[in-house]
């Protein structure tokens, strides 16, 4: 949801030329707020870098000054919250990012209480929920591997509650607007029969297709407010469902017996509401809904598949079938000479979203297949059947094809210079997925799998994994350029930087890429590879933390069942040595 903007002052009322030697004075609430918006928008134009960060920080100072002039004004608190959130996500690392994020949350809470406008309340509350979810993710990322998730769950439950309230209010506003539109339509029909009306009745139109309206916030100040439309309600429900799916970790315990097929939780009935909203919308967003539903289902399945029961595999295959059908439809639209040439092309973001989610589904299915085979191995002490292992290889290959397709959809400039692109995190994530998939296929050459295809391609697959993880780290744009080189000495790489372009999410992706690279070097098992691991650890020891390693290993065990050599085996010992070095 696009946050509302304070309208800048009329140019005729704006201060004229100001000499550089004199700092501008902001002596009223309006002046401080409007120039804060101007600086914030300059930061948006620069997107990243020192200049963008400086503009955002100056905007915060002006919003704080505006609050001093009028502590009860919604605008000051809301704009300050929005800018603090942006800074926390794009520029800062923990603990500064979490502190700034908490400040943004407090300002959103204040702005909630300072408006009687339902639309402004919706804007503030939706963004409060987004900030709470970001904080939950951050807290979860920084936890030790064995720590409980009570705080994370509390934050997500609060966010889910606010999103539910937002969705209900949005639906109520939408229904009211539709009733008013119907009333206006009836008046127009009557007027069409008689004479032309003397007055233009357009002023009564409350069309949901209208993007913005002017509103008063109880103080005579004009605002640009986002009007509730079906597409905005969809956005709220999609985020709500994604949040609820993360809260469904105890779902598997509700099944009556080990052989019972899984039942999708009641939250997915909400997708019927989305279908209804799409029917009322002028531009249905069926692909967005499909991807959101698939992602939510995969999240539920992933949190409950620890026993590898066949029912979960069947549910996963159903998700794959739906996504595959949609992807085939997209390819038909794109094909030259297609009979669907009059159908509008699907935008790049949606295409990448569909194919990446399909790839995730294949990767999850491969994990289920692998855990099922391990379960047979533990119970019978016999190696998995050749056909069963080949099925895992095939599923991983299909997931790899999806990730490769997603990478090819990115423009050539994004592939060549991903660290300079606005969506560089997208390419980093795809490269990281390719690194993981390459290594997963290579591991099938070892005991107990001994897959013929994996044995034949093992060396190349490990090399691919090393290359992909290296590129993922470089493309994160967080100072890991030149393939794991030290942090530039001019910035004092011996001490951890307080901020980086891309924020914590990009930094976390880079750290995961580094650990993936180290793991691939370990599986290469050549003397020069192990020497490279030692060099890498010396280079990154001041940016990589033991907590990062423990979390990475925990996720490996959750995803793949066992590490190489089993409990207490060679890989587990390898990671203990890595932690000791750090």
Domain boundaries, the chain: 1-9+24-142, 410-582
For residues 547 and 500, give the distance between their C-alpha atoms in angstroms, rounded to a whole number. 20
Name every residue whose Cβ is closer than 8 Å to that of residue 229 and which is 6 or more positions away in sequence: 174, 208, 209, 281
* Residue 47 Cα distances to 43, 55, 74, 380, angstroms: 6, 10, 26, 57
Q: Which of 422, 542, 408, 534 is nearest to 479 (CA)?
A: 542
- Cα dihedral 214, 219, 221, 226, rounded to 10, equals -40
Q: What is the pLDDT along the chain (582 residues), one digit of tens a residue?
A: 444 444 443 434 444 333 444 556 788 999 999 999 999 999 999 988 889 999 999 999 999 999 999 999 999 999 999 999 999 999 988 888 999 999 999 999 999 999 999 999 999 999 999 999 999 999 988 877 566 678 898 999 999 999 999 999 998 888 888 787 766 655 555 445 444 444 443 433 333 333 444 444 545 454 555 667 777 887 888 888 888 878 865 443 333 333 333 444 555 666 666 666 666 655 445 787 788 888 878 877 877 665 445 567 888 999 999 999 999 988 887 766 555 555 677 888 889 999 999 999 999 999 999 888 888 887 887 777 889 999 999 999 999 999 999 999 885 544 444 444 445 567 889 999 999 999 999 999 987 888 999 999 999 999 999 999 999 988 876 666 543 444 333 333 334 455 567 788 888 888 999 999 999 999 988 777 778 888 888 888 777 888 889 989 988 988 877 788 777 788 989 999 899 888
For residues 208 and 232, give the distance between their C-alpha atoms in angstroms, rounded to a whole number. 10
| DSSP per-residue string spanning 221-270 | -EEEEEPP-HHHHHHHHHHHHHHHHHT-TTGGGG-SSTTSPP---GGGGH
* DSSP-based helix, strand, coil % in the chain, nearest 5: 70, 0, 30
3-state secondary structure of 28: coil
- Cα dihedral 365, 369, 370, 376, rounded to 10, equals 160
Judging by DSSP bridges, how do beta strands 222-226 and 5-6 pair with one another?
A: antiparallel
Q: Which pLDDT belongs to residue 438?
A: 97
φ, ψ (nearest 5 deg) of residue 43: -60, -40
For residues 315 and 305, give the distance between their C-alpha atoms in angstroms, rounded to a whole number. 11
Q: Which pLDDT belongs to residue 192?
A: 52
451-472 per-residue burial string, b: 16 or more CB within 10 A, e: under 16: bebbeebbeebbebbbbbbbbb
For residues 491 and 502, give the distance between their C-alpha atoms in angstroms, rounded to a whole number. 17
* Residue 460 Cα distances to 394, 399, 523, 524, angstroms: 17, 18, 12, 10
Helices (H) and strands (E) in the chain, counts: 20, 3
Q: Which pLDDT belongs to residue 104?
A: 98
Q: Which pLDDT belongs to residue 281?
A: 57
Q: Which pLDDT belongs to residue 451?
A: 92
**HSE-up (13 A, CA, CB side) for residue 546:** 7
For residues 420 and 413, give the distance between their C-alpha atoms in angstroms, rounded to a whole number. 9
- Cα dihedral 421, 427, 431, 432, rounded to 10, equals 100
Q: Which pLDDT belongs to residue 314?
A: 85
Q: Which pLDDT belongs to residue 198?
A: 44
For residues 518 and 544, give the distance between their C-alpha atoms in angstroms, rounded to a whole number. 12
Q: Which architecture characterizes domain 1-9+24-142 according to CATH?
A: Alpha Horseshoe (1.25)
């Amino acid at each position: 949801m696009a946050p509302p903007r304070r309208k800048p002052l009329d140019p005729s009322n704006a201060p004229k030329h100001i000499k550089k030697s004199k700092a501008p004075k902001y002596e009223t609430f309006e002046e401080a707020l409007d120039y804060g918006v101007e600086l914030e928008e300059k930061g948006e134009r620069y997107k990243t870098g020192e200049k963008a960060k400086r503009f955002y920080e100056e905007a915060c100072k002006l919003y704080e000054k505006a609050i001093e002039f009028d502590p009860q004004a919604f605008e000051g608190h809301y704009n300050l919250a929005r800018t603090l959130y942006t800074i926390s996500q794009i520029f800062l690392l923990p603990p500064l990012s979490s502190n700034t994020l908490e400040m943004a949350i407090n300002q959103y809470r204040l702005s909630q209480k300072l408006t009687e406008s339902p639309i402004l309340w919706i804007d503030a509350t939706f963004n409060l929920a987004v900030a709470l979810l970001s904080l939950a993710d951050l807290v979860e990322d920084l936890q030790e591997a064995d720590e409980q998730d009570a705080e994370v769950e509390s934050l997500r439950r609060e966010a889910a509650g606010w999103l539910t309230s937002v969705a209900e209010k949005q639906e109520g506003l939408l229904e009211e607007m539709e009733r008013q539109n119907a009333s206006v339509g009836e008046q127009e029909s009557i007027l069409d029969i008689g004479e032309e009306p003397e007055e233009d009745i357009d002023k009564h139109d409350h069309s949901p297709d209208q993007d913005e309206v002017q509103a008063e916030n109880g103080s005579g100040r004009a605002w640009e407010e986002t009007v509730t439309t079906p597409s905005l309600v969809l956005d709220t429900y999609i985020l709500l469902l994604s949040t609820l799916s993360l809260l469904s970790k105890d779902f598997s315990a509700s099944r009556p017996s080990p052989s019972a097929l899984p039942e999708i939780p009641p939250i997915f009935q909400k997708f019927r509401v989305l279908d209804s909203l799409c029917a009322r919308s002028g531009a249905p967003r069926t692909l967005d809904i499909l991807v959101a539903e698939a992602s939510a289902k995969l999240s539920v399945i992933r949190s409950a598949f620890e026993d590898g029961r066949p029912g979960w595999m069947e549910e996963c295959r159903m998700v794959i079938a739906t996504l595959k059908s949609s992807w085939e439809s997209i390819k038909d639209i794109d094909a030259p000479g297609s009979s669907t040439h009059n159908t509008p092309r699907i935008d790049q973001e949606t295409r990448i979203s569909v194919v990446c989610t399909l790839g995730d589904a294949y990767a999850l299915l491969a994990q289920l297949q692998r855990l099922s085979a391990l379960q047979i191995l533990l119970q019978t002490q016999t190696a998995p059947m050749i056909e069963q292992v080949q099925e895992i290889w095939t599923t991983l290959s299909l997931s790899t094809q999806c990730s490769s397709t997603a990478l090819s959809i990115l423009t050539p400039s994004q592939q060549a210079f991903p660290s300079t692109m606005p969506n560089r995190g997208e390419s980093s994530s795809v490269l990281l997925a390719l690194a993981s998939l390459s290594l997963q296929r290579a591991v099938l050459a070892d005991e107990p799998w001994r897959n013929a295809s994996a044995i034949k391609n093992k060396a190349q697959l490990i090399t691919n994994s090393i290359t992909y993880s290296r590129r993922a780290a470089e493309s994160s744009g967080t100072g890991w350029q030149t393939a794991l080189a030290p942090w530039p000495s001019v910035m004092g790489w011996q001490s951890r930087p307080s901020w980086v372009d891309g924020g914590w999410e990009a930094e976390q992706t880079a750290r995961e890429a580094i650990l993936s690279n180290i793991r691939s070097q370990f599986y290469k098992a050549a003397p020069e590879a192990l020497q490279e691991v030692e060099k890498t650890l010396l280079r990154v020891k001041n940016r990589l933390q033991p907590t990062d390693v423990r979390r990475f290993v925990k996720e490996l065990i959750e995803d793949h069942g066992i590490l190489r050599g089993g409990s207490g085996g060679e890989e587990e010992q390898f990671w203990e040595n890595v932690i000791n070095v750090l």
